[in-house]
Amino acid sequence: MALLEVDDLVVQFYTENGVVRAVDGISYEIRAGETLGLVGESGAGKSVASLALLRLIDSPGEVVGGEIRFRGRDILELSADEMRGLRGDEIAMVFQDAGAALNPVYTVGEQISEAIRTHEAVTDETARDRAIALLERVGISDPAARYSDYPHEFSGGMQQRAVIAMGLSCDPALLVCDEPTTDLDVTVQAGILELLADLARESETAIQLVTHDLGVVAEICDRVLVQYAGEIVERAPVEELYYDPKHPYTVGLLASIPRLGDGRGRLTTIPGTTPDLVDPPTGCRFHPRCPYAEDVCARRRPPLVETESGSPDDGDPDTHAAACLEYTGDLEDGLDYEVQVRDESDESTESNEPDERRLGGNDGAERTRERDPTGDPR
Amino acid sequence: MAGLGVIVVMAVLAVFARPIEVSTAEVTITLQPFSLAPYDPSAMFVGPANAPPSRAHPFGTDWAGRDQLSRVLVGGRYTLGIGLVAVALALCVGVPLGAIAGYFGGWIDEAIMRLVDVLYAFPFLVLAIAIVPILEPIPVLGGGFWTVVLALAVTGWIGYARLLRGEVLSVREREYVTAARALGVPDRTVIRRHVVPNAVAPVVVQATLNVGTVVLTAAALGFLGLGLEPGSAEWGAMLSQGRSSLVQGRWHITVFPGLAIFLFVLAINLVGDGINDALDPHRDVSDERRRLR
């Protein structure tokens, strides 16, 4: 049994413009100790899906359907007290803006001890010692002295480390990280990712990493979910997603990553913006922006299917699944893009991330169906 | 700072005006032996009636020959006591209710805020005047002091509740509140430790400034003859009794308690302003920037 199973989760927000289905029937699972990436543009419902795991969706939002089973228990059915026992103790969350996630009126150490004291009957002394140990574990030097610093005395990266320490205070089975590195500059970001990767390796903590940065996903995730307009459009082990993306949206995302040494003057983009979820497009939600869209895409909503067989997805997390009519055999012309993997260095390819990817098909002038990885690293 | 000084001096004078004694059946324990006031404030005919200020009676005497200086000094106990206790009580009611209303929202918020709206519909003083006679027959309350304090607390909490609710509405959306909830911290702890400390600053300023208002209202109630029994050395009551003397041209009977009220309220307002500046650094910064430009 997986640690966490999300089954057909639907979250709605009631706004003045109408009902927004921020999360529309997503299903996935996380196994103990694994790191799952959840990627998508702003407004794809990633954060909402994460908050729903802790039942922190407040009015005007509401979970209207589906199940979230944590160790077999449906979180949505728990009483408020049981839910509180679960939060922080079993499932913890790391927020995007660490500066805002720390209360300015208490010292950093005090806030970590509070998290410990909430769930365990420990003396203040013990809580303090454990908080200091946690600060050390997340890589803050001189933790005993830093314990009594206020959040504003920490740098951005250290604040994020402190927030991660808060999340880890009770050794949760699942750590939900909502864009933990978005506000940080690249070097600090690398440090935080390394920390998360270490944690995932050393402990049995599973991590759900929400991000819009595919580079981050490549560094630490085992599997990836791609979310678009409240739906999951592709699910794959991380390597497969990068070498062999199946959904046109994923292709577009990968193509729009800037690369060093790229001769082109402009970045590739996905035309248009994320759809208005009050009135989502008919059929496939990506079809207005999809360069391969055909008439059928506007009519038929593609189910999530296994790309190998074309059979409906049975939720097996190791398979590669995508929600595109191509894989149900409904597209006439198919998807015309090529994946080029370029590796300029011959150093060890332990990293899952190919150094270069080029995805054609964004010009749309000539559609040639070919797949020609040039210079595959292996 | 000057305001704080004035308040401290007045408080010290009031405390040391007469000895404070706790007496039981057998023993009398003197808590505070000093007596700055030259006479017992209620002793009559310690000097000639309606005497103007003199060396023996610096503030003169009133119609019953009571020493005005002693009465003003001891009266500070009532006035300062009413002001501080009434505001403290009002805070004890207003802060929790406002925080609960703002944090939970929904029908709890509706219920509390509609009650506040109803109470707001009455003018402050009129409501206090209406409440004093309701409370007066309750024997537990003893003398008029607690009646006045309660009346002022009942009318005073609504302002704090409304102000704090507004602040809480914005603070509860902050990420650290969500973070605390995500850690499983119970709601009451979230409110007590995370929401209220970050929302309470304007309420503190308001409460400080309100001490002055409350003192004025207490004086007004005393002037109208409500609350404290007639003849007690409360500043408002003294003003009220001095009214007839004023017509006869005896200025000193009203001027000194009036000055005392004025000085105290002014001092409170200065302190309130000081706290406001101290708790609201943003304004200082923008002022600074404007000056530099």
pLDDT at A88: 87
Instruction: Give me the pLDDT at residue B25, please.
Output: 66
In this model, does residue B225 exceed pLDDT 80? no
Strand locations in B190-240 (E): none
Q: How much is the pTM?
A: 0.77
Q: Check residue B284 and give its pLDDT.
A: 52
Q: Which residue has the higher pLDDT, B279 or B188?
A: B188
pLDDT at residue number A346: 40
What is the reported pLDDT for A353? 40
Domain ranges of chain B: 72-281
Residue A297 to residue A293: CA distance in whole angstroms = 6
Q: What is the pLDDT of residue A307?
A: 83
Q: What is the pLDDT of residue A271?
A: 82
Q: Is the pLDDT of residue A264 over 70?
A: no
More confident residue, B27 or B124: B124
Residues of chain A contacting B179 with CB distance shorter than 8 Å: 93, 95, 101-102, 163, 166
Average pLDDT value over all residues in chain B: 82
Residue A68 and residue A2 in contact, taking contact as beta carbons nearer than 8 Å: no
> Mean pLDDT across the stretch A129-138?
91
The H or E element spanning position A306 is strand A305-306
* Higher pLDDT among residues B62 and A147, named by residue: A147
Rounded to the nearest angstrom, the minimum Cα separation between A202 and chain B is 22
Fill in the DSSP letter of residue A309: T
Tell me the nearest-neighbour CA distance from B175 into chain A, angstroms: 5
CA B20 – CA B15 distance, rounded (Å): 8
Strand partners, B28: B23
Two structure tokens written together for A243: 């070498």
* Architecture of the domain delimited by B72-281: Orthogonal Bundle (1.10)
Q: How far is CA A67 from CA A70, A75, A76, A83, in A?
A: 10, 8, 7, 15
Q: What integer is the mean pLDDT of A134-146? A: 90
pLDDT at position B142 is: 57
pLDDT value for B228:
73
Mean pLDDT across the stretch A246-254?
Answer: 88
Taking contacts as CB-CB distances below 8 angstroms, the residues of chain B near A102 are: 176, 179
Element (H, E) at A38: strand A35-39
- State the pLDDT confidence band at B150, using cuts at 50, 70 and 90: confident
Interface of B with A in 166-225 (CB under 8 A): 174-176, 178-186, 189, 193-194, 197-198
Give burial (CB, 10 Å; 0-12/13-18/19+) of B171: buried
Q: Which long-range contacts (CB under 8 A, 24 or more apart) does A19-22 make?
A: A19/A278, A20/A277, A20/A278, A21/A230, A21/A277, A21/A280, A22/A48, A22/A61, A22/A230, A22/A277
Distance of CA B293 to the CA centre of its chain: 42
Please give the residue that has the higher pLDDT: either B67 or B32: B67
Q: What is the pLDDT of residue B230?
A: 67
Per the CB < 8 A criterion, the answer to whether A77 and A88 are in contact is no
Which A positions 54-73 lie with beta carbon below 8 A of chain B? 54, 56, 59
Model confidence over A174-203: pLDDT tens digits? 999 988 887 788 888 888 888 888 888 888
pLDDT tens digits, A81-113? 889 888 888 999 998 888 888 998 899 999 999
From A102's Cα to the closest Cα of chain B, the distance in A is: 5
Contact A56 B182 (CB under 8 A): yes
Partner-chain contact A87 B180, CB within 8 Å: no
Do the bridges between strand A174-178 and strand A91-94 make them parallel or antiparallel, or are there none, so unpaired?
Answer: parallel
Whether the CB of A323 is below 8 Å from some CB of chain B: the reply is: no
Contacts of A118 in chain B (CB under 8 A): 183-186, 189
Minimal Cβ distance to A118: which of B106, B176, B185: B185
C-alpha span between B39 and B233 (Å, rounded)? 13
Q: Which of B106, B175, B194 sits opposite A100 (nearest CB)?
A: B175
So what's the pLDDT on residue A107?
Answer: 92
DSSP helix, strand, coil percent of chain B (3-state; round to 5) = 70, 5, 25
B139 pLDDT band (50/70/90 cuts)? low
User: Is A183 within 8 Å of chain B by CB?
Assistant: no
Q: Please state the domain extents for chain A.
A: 100-171
Q: Is B32 helix (H, G, I), strand (E, B) or coil?
A: strand
Q: Are B151 and B214 in contact (CB under 8 A)?
A: no
Q: Has residue A270 got a pLDDT over 90?
A: no
**Average pLDDT rounded to a whole number, residues A148-159:** 90
Closest by CA to A195, choosing from A172, A168, A226, A214, is: A168
**How many Cα atoms are found within 13 Å in the side-chain-facing hemisphere of B135?**
24
Residue A366 has pLDDT above 50, yes or no: no
**What would the mean pLDDT of A126-146 be, rounded to a whole number?**
90
User: With contacts defined as CB-CB under 8 Å, which chain B residues touch A114?
Assistant: 180, 183, 185, 193
B185·A115 Cβ contact <8 A: yes
Q: Which of A293-297, A320-324, B139-143 has the lowest mean pLDDT?
A: B139-143
Whether residue B194 and residue A169 make contact (CB cut-off 8 A), yes or no, is no
Residues of chain A above pLDDT 70, percent = 89
The mean pLDDT of chain A is 82
Q: Is pLDDT at A332 greater than 90 in this prediction?
A: no
Which residues in chain B are closer than 8 Å to A101, comparing Cβ atoms?
175-176, 178-179
- When mean pLDDT is compared across A69-73, A261-265, B225-229, the lowest value belongs to A261-265
Report CB contact under 8 Å: B178, A56. Answer: yes
